[in-house]
Amino acid sequence: MAFDVSAAAKKYLPDALRDIKRLVAIESVQGEAKEGKPFGEGVDRALQEALKISRELGMETANVDGYVGYAQIGEGEKLIGIVGHLDCVPLGEGWEHDPLGGEIVDGVIYGRGVSDDKGPSIAALYAMKILMDSGVKLNSRIRFVFGTNEETGMAGVDYYLAKEGDFDMGFTPDAGFPLCFGEKGGYHGHFSGATNTEGAKVKILSVKGGMAVNVVCDKVVLTCNAGQYAEALKASFVEYAKAADMTCQVEDEGENTLLTLNGKAAHASTPELGVNAISYLMKFVAECELFDSPFAKGYAKVIGLDYSGANCGMKMADEYGELTFNVGIIGGTDFSTYATIDIRYPLTLTAPEFKVKADEMEKTIIQAGLNMDGSGMGKSLYKAPDSPMINALYDAYVKVTQDTVNKPFTMGGGTYAKHFDSIVAFGAGFPNEESGAHMANEHVDVESIQKCMEIYTHALMNLLAL
C-alpha cells in the first residue's frame, strides 16, 4: 500500500504549528555581533531553537560557527539541499495580533516570520520528517540549512558555502509556487552632489526620505530657508503636487519651510506599482526657479521620473522582463545630498555583460555633475525551465494542488538561490495568496502550511528519484 503523504501531513500539522510558534516567539532581528553569534543574540536563539526542533524530530544537526546550522537525514554521495531562513525584519507597528505570539484565528496563524520564512522552513523540515516515516529509501542525504541573515545581506550562506560547498540540487522555500526558475541580477549604487549654489533664492537645508534601498520611496521631506519667497514657494509646491495627483504638506518651522511630498511604496523589483516621492520632489526642485540645486538638476537629467533607466542609458529587456531602476533613499544637508540606486537587470544577461553597461551609466551620472560614491552588483539566476529538477519540483506542486494554470515564473526579487548553483526558489506562497510579509499582521493560512508539507514531501521524493 502506497504511503499516504496527505494523511501524514495532517497528522503532523499540530506539531508543525507548535514549532512555528516556538520560532515566531523569538525576535530574530539581526543585532550586535558577539563571539559565536555573528548576527546577534536574537538570531542565535532562533538558530538554537531550530536545531533543537530538528533533534526532537530525530535528525542529525550541526552548527556552522553560528553563521548557519543544518539538519540532515539519509545517506549517500548525492546531497539534496533546502535553504530557509530564521531571521526576520523588525516587528514594526500597527499589529492587531501579537507579532511574537503565533496566534491562530479563524484558521490563520499570525506573527512575524510565519510566511517569511519560519513557517515555510518548518513545513519543509516536517516534509523531511514525513519521509523518515514513509519507508522511502533515503539513498541520498537531504540537508536543511537554517540561514540567519537573509534579510540583511546573506553573509551566513556565503560562509556556509565556503565551509561546506554546494548541493547537487534542491530549493529554498522563500518565494512562491509553482516555482521561480529565474531571478534578475542586482546592482546597488550611491551617488551624490552639491545641494545648493551660492546664487539660489531659496536655500535647501536638508532632505530626507525612504525606508530602504529596495523600496520605492513613499515620503520625502525637504527643509529650506525661503525667506521672502516662502509663500510663493508653498503655493507653487501645492500646485505641483496637485498636477501630479499626489498629496503634500507645507508647514513653517520657525524661519524655515518644510515641504513634504507623499508617493506610494512598492518593492524595488516592481517600481511601476509605486510612485517615487524622491523623483517627483527632485523634478520640482530642478524646475522651480527659486532653487538652484546641482544635485536635483543632475537627478532630473539622468533619472527623472522614469523607472526603466532610460535616461541614463540603462533601458534593456529580455524575454522575461525589463530592467527596473529605483532610487530608494535620499538624505542631505545644505552642503551635499546623496541617494541610492537599486537596479534589477534582465536575468539572461551575465554579470560581466551588465558591468559594461553599468560602467557607462556611472560615467553618464558623473557627466551630469554628480558623484558616484560606490557600487556593487550581484549575478542573475537562470535555470532551464525544462530541466529535470524544475520538472520534478513542478510535478510535485501539480500533484498536490491539481493546478496546471499557473506556470513556473521569473522575478525581479532575489533569494538564497542566487548564492548557490544548485537550487531555485520553490514556494511557499500560493498564487493569489497575500501573506503581508514584512508588514503588520503577517499571516498564513493553516491549510497552506499543511499543503506545503505535502508538496515538499512529494518534491523530495521526486528529487530522490533523479
Q: Tens of pLDDT along 245-255?
A: 999 999 999 99
Question: Does residue 103 share a domain with residue 60?
Answer: yes
Give yes or no for a contact between 275 and 327, defined as CB atoms under 8 angstroms apart: no
Q: Which residues face 105 on adjacent strands?
A: 108
Question: Does residue 28 share a domain with residue 82?
Answer: yes
pLDDT at 17: 98
Band of residue 406 on the pLDDT scale cut at 50, 70, 90: very high
Report the alpha-carbon distance of residue 328 to residue 279 in Å, rounded.
10
Given a cut of 80, is residue 1 above it in pLDDT?
Answer: no
pLDDT at 89: 86
Domain with 144 in it: 5-184+381-464
Question: Does residue 339 share a domain with residue 193?
Answer: yes
Which of 378, 397, 422 lies at the terminal end of a domain, its last residue? 378
Question: Does residue 392 share a domain with residue 334?
Answer: no
Q: Which of 71, 243, 224 is nearest to 146 (CA)?
A: 71
Which of 328, 348, 378 lies at the terminal end of a domain, its last residue? 378
Question: Does residue 115 share a domain with residue 11?
Answer: yes
When pLDDT is averaged across residues 291-310 and rounded to a whole number, the result is: 97
Question: Does residue 320 share a domain with residue 456?
Answer: no
**43-52, 181-190, 296-305, 410-419: segment of lowest average pLDDT:** 410-419
C-alpha cell at 384: 532551464
Helices (H), 330-416: 351-367, 388-401
Q: Which of 8, 1, 53 is nearest to 450 (CA)?
A: 8
Torsion of CA 81, 86, 87, 93, to 10 degrees: 130
Instruction: Provide the edge-to-edge strand list for the sheet that holds 443-445.
Output: 104-105, 108-110, 443-445
pLDDT at 161: 97
How many domains in the chain? 2
C-alpha cell at 141: 542525504
What are the tens digits of pLDDT across the range 58-117? 999 999 999 999 999 999 999 999 999 999 988 988 899 999 999 999 999 999 999 999
DSSP string over 409-454: EEESS--GGGG-SSEEE--EEPTT----TTSTT-EEEHHHHHHHHH
Query: What CATH number does the domain containing 52 carry?
Result: 3.40.630.10
Q: Cα Rg for the chain, rounded, in angstroms?
A: 25
pLDDT at 369: 97
Given a cut of 90, is residue 266 above it in pLDDT?
Answer: no
When pLDDT is averaged across residues 119-125 and rounded to a whole number, the result is: 98
Question: Does residue 360 share a domain with residue 400?
Answer: no
Percent of the chain predicted with pLDDT > 70: 100
Question: Does residue 388 share a domain with residue 277?
Answer: no
Report the alpha-carbon distance of residue 453 to residue 457 in Å, rounded.
6
Query: What CATH number does the domain containing 324 carry?
Result: 3.30.70.360
Which of 378, 397, 416 lies at the terminal end of a domain, its last residue? 378
Question: Does residue 92 share a domain with residue 175?
Answer: yes
Question: Does residue 265 share a domain with residue 138?
Answer: no
Cis, peptide link before residue 173, omega less than 30° from 0: no
Residue listed under C-alpha cell 507597528: 93
Question: Does residue 224 share a domain with residue 98?
Answer: no
Question: Does residue 399 share a domain with residue 345?
Answer: no
pLDDT at 196: 97
